[in-house]
Structure 1
């Protein structure tokens, strides 16, 4: 039978305990979506069943994979009342009447398992102890111990799941629409833009000590507008697409085709292994990139002055108190820096997920090669090339984010009146072969350091993927082209504002990067079988 597009089996009559009932219907694939050919998609695995239960809308905390694995194993572990409800939803194919019948059947099966377990414990005690009437409390304790142990294991696993920053961060990228995170980031910077407009600091100029009038309005700050309106949303969308595709489509197919099955590590285990990385990045972004940087760059200069930082929209109250007051500036910069540090946490969390996908695919390839006589699986090569396409896109956006940050910081120290005229002046100085010497101020530029960290981190992930995956010969040419574009972008970043005409190198790099975002294979992918991945890349 088919209910709601899923393979439905009616609940069985009474007689089986939970282990017998669950084993039979999980092997039949009850509640799994129907395949394109009209046949069931196959049996349940612990990973698939845990994911299906966690995706139920009303199930806020989901279910831990370890708990589901206990249901599949030959042991005395049963199922809790809360999980009976969710398993009944799965077996009942989200049909209210069928779910109710399955809930009754599962509850009765669990009761029979408990009674059978209690009887076996009593029999064991009767055999071990002399005399016809062993102490009553012994039987009760023996029957209660497995339930208490199961409850402790389940509660501990669910508590760990609730407190897992890694799991929650991964869920932001893999659950729901891939547009959720990009839309949230774009909405945040839009709100800050409207707020700056209402405060009157969206388009503000000030006269520097050398007489140059500079544009320092919030909407003119490229490291805020371009980064959080364009590059970071695209980066998050690409990471979401890759993680979602890998988790729900590519990974189950590769693990199943490689006959790895339940013996292979799960995606949840991969994420849990990176838990310390997520926490380390979170603390660095919140404490150093957010709180400490705001205190040193904005709060202290606004209150006490000094610091030798370039004047921008965040320190405008120092020289233009009539435009914005110091308390208002402190509040606005505080909100902006909280938003910024959270966004950059998402950026580095995305890089961790990219690294995890690369490492997971490498382990699958090694395990598959070890278990089979085939030296190289074409499906794994294709998957590696698809992953590298997304990693290349994300690397480009990471280097572009770093470049825009350094560009804005260099502009504030230059003699340009705004960032556009500054770049045009550098371009004309190279075209007409004239020196573009101007007055420059020696400021402390912390953005130079933070942008370097971003560029290095993005490139390390790309280099890791290129080395670890080592995709097939058909993808070697596109991979070299990808590496060349990344190298050119990094060179334009490092040489930014170091010589007259740097904008030409920057423009060439941006043009190639833009083409790479559209066609990361540079024409090679569509010409070969590796390019037949339109749904994924």
Structure 2
């Protein structure tokens, strides 16, 4: 049936909830104008429906695309009373009588959804689920009509049963305040610092057999204090800003400007496709970086005594049991390594999300250029450069984390009394041309390997972004400067303790890196202004 030149479907009045009713109408294209051949124009997409609602004359504020996307997705989100009015206008084909009928039908469907949502939450809280309940929930999940989305995204029951680690990890960066995640990491290391005071290992010294007395207290370990109090919180805040801005602002803008239809490849689906990556990283961090490393580095030496690892706060009970007991040290190191492995999971999760943003903007750019032509190139280049500014910041912070980890590990083998004295001694040996004649011990240093993994992972994401988004871009010169800083910082990391005076190279690279965190483009006013105009920069 056609009404006012549009496809009109009468309200079914079959007791369907809003999700069921909307899915059928969107698939049929109810309310869409007829095509030039006189046939229906096809199903609704979030972009087309949002545009149609926003073009209603009496609707002055329009509707947010994200709101319309939620109607299409498999979730428990309904529709507000204000939007029921506008959706009824669309399905009613601007006919007053038909619009009134659809307003009544949509209001009843929303009430049905609200009641079913309460029942679904009750079932999810652990109540018994019978066959009739499962059938009702399956209908609510949309399994009766799989035409609008691929099957892997319509099975809401299976998604509820299994742990969606990818979605939950992404939500840590995007939900709530962007301060939450960095503050949580800072609070964790602060709590460990207070515990170290309690058990007495915050400031302890160890006399090596060669007579060198080294500071091995917990609060003197740069790979715990600097990493988890400064660099990792900054890294997490940067990733949170990048992902939130891309997801909520830049991505919808590119889709609108490029004339794309992105209901099928929504951001949530992209995150879901990376589920195996999140799980792989989580298991590696938990088992290898956490459990197995704690057993090999801390537990076995504490229980059996002696090891080929350098003496530090985690094994100090072996030589000074009157200061801290072995059971106390086992408990403290267990908490510390659990905290550490979870924090490194957050770090690698952030790198995965940055990779997803780079890959997403590259694919959207290709689709927009093929659809809209060359006039979209400038907007895409600016958006890509805005993304690369955040990728550069995160890469710099990632390499700085790896650098601090390797510095602490190298210090334990040196003759320095503490890490600051060791670095100053190396710097003076370069400035005054004195050879470093200190004694060195040969230890097994697993931190060297783990720091290398962090550095490589951060650089791979930056390299991928530079290749995907930098080729042909008008912002090539700032990207070259970014690449030079990353290369210098990586060179400083690799040459730690390789020669006398390495700290001079490391200091120069560190100063440039810190400046790059403030102005990632290292650019004049004009380029800086164009970058600052981007909401993701």
Length-normalised TM-score, structure 1: 0.78
1:307 Cα offset (Å): 2.5
Matched residues in 2 for 1:442 and 1:179: separation? 42
> CA-atom RMSD, angstroms?
3.4
The residue number in structure 2 matching 1:160 is 159
After superposition, the Cα gap between the structure-2 partners of 1:40 and 1:375, relative to the gap in structure 1 and judged at 3 Å, is closer
Matched residues in 1 for 2:136 and 2:501: separation? 78
Between 1:182-191 and 1:258-267, the stretch displaced more is 258-267
Contact 1:236 1:347 in 2 (8 A): yes
1:155 Cα offset (Å): 8.3
1:273 Cα offset (Å): 1.0
The residue number in structure 1 matching 2:313 is 313
Matched residues in 2 for 1:334 and 1:315: separation? 12
Matched residues in 1 for 2:454 and 2:82: separation? 43
Contact 2:398 2:455 in 1 (8 A): yes
The residue number in structure 1 matching 2:68 is 49
Matched residues in 2 for 1:147 and 1:390: separation? 43
Q: How many residues align?
A: 457
Matches within 5 A, 1:306-345: 306-345=306-345
After superposition, the Cα gap between the structure-2 partners of 1:234 and 1:109, relative to the gap in structure 1 and judged at 3 Å, is closer
SS at match of 1:203: coil
Length-normalised TM-score, structure 2: 0.78
Contact 2:74 2:141 in 1 (8 A): no
Unaligned runs of at least 5 residues, structure 2: 1-9, 14-20, 33-45, 86-101, 113-134, 147-152
Residues 105-163 of structure 1 deviation map (CA, whole Å, 9 limit, x = unaligned): 53645899xxxxxxxxxxxxxxxxxxxxxxxxxxxxxx999948835789832541562
After superposition, the Cα gap between the structure-2 partners of 1:473 and 1:370, relative to the gap in structure 1 and judged at 3 Å, is closer
SS at match of 2:194: helix
Contact 2:410 2:497 in 1 (8 A): yes
Between 1:237-246 and 1:174-183, the stretch displaced more is 174-183
Contact 1:29 1:40 in 2 (8 A): no
The residue number in structure 1 matching 2:171 is 171
Matched residues in 2 for 1:90 and 1:41: separation? 11
The residue number in structure 1 matching 2:38 is none
After superposition, the Cα gap between the structure-2 partners of 1:39 and 1:484, relative to the gap in structure 1 and judged at 3 Å, is same
Contact 1:385 1:530 in 2 (8 A): no
After superposition, the Cα gap between the structure-2 partners of 1:236 and 1:38, relative to the gap in structure 1 and judged at 3 Å, is farther
Unaligned runs of at least 5 residues, structure 1: 1-13, 54-64, 69-81, 94-101, 113-142
Matched residues in 1 for 2:54 and 2:228: separation? 39
Residues 208-253 of structure 1 deviation map (CA, whole Å, 9 limit, x = unaligned): 1111110000000000000000000000000000000000000001
After superposition, the Cα gap between the structure-2 partners of 1:491 and 1:303, relative to the gap in structure 1 and judged at 3 Å, is same
Matched residues in 2 for 1:239 and 1:407: separation? 25
SS at match of 1:214: strand
The residue number in structure 1 matching 2:401 is 401
Tell me whether 1:40 sits opposite 2:61 in the alignment. yes
Matched residues in 1 for 2:164 and 2:458: separation? 24
The residue number in structure 1 matching 2:130 is none
SS at match of 1:500: coil
1:437 Cα offset (Å): 1.4
1:261 Cα offset (Å): 1.7
1:529 Cα offset (Å): 5.6
The residue number in structure 2 matching 1:150 is 142
The residue number in structure 2 matching 1:137 is none
Matched residues in 1 for 2:111 and 2:335: separation? 55
1:40 Cα offset (Å): 2.5
After superposition, the Cα gap between the structure-2 partners of 1:50 and 1:325, relative to the gap in structure 1 and judged at 3 Å, is farther
Matched residues in 1 for 2:519 and 2:140: separation? 56
1:16 Cα offset (Å): 6.4
After superposition, the Cα gap between the structure-2 partners of 1:411 and 1:38, relative to the gap in structure 1 and judged at 3 Å, is farther
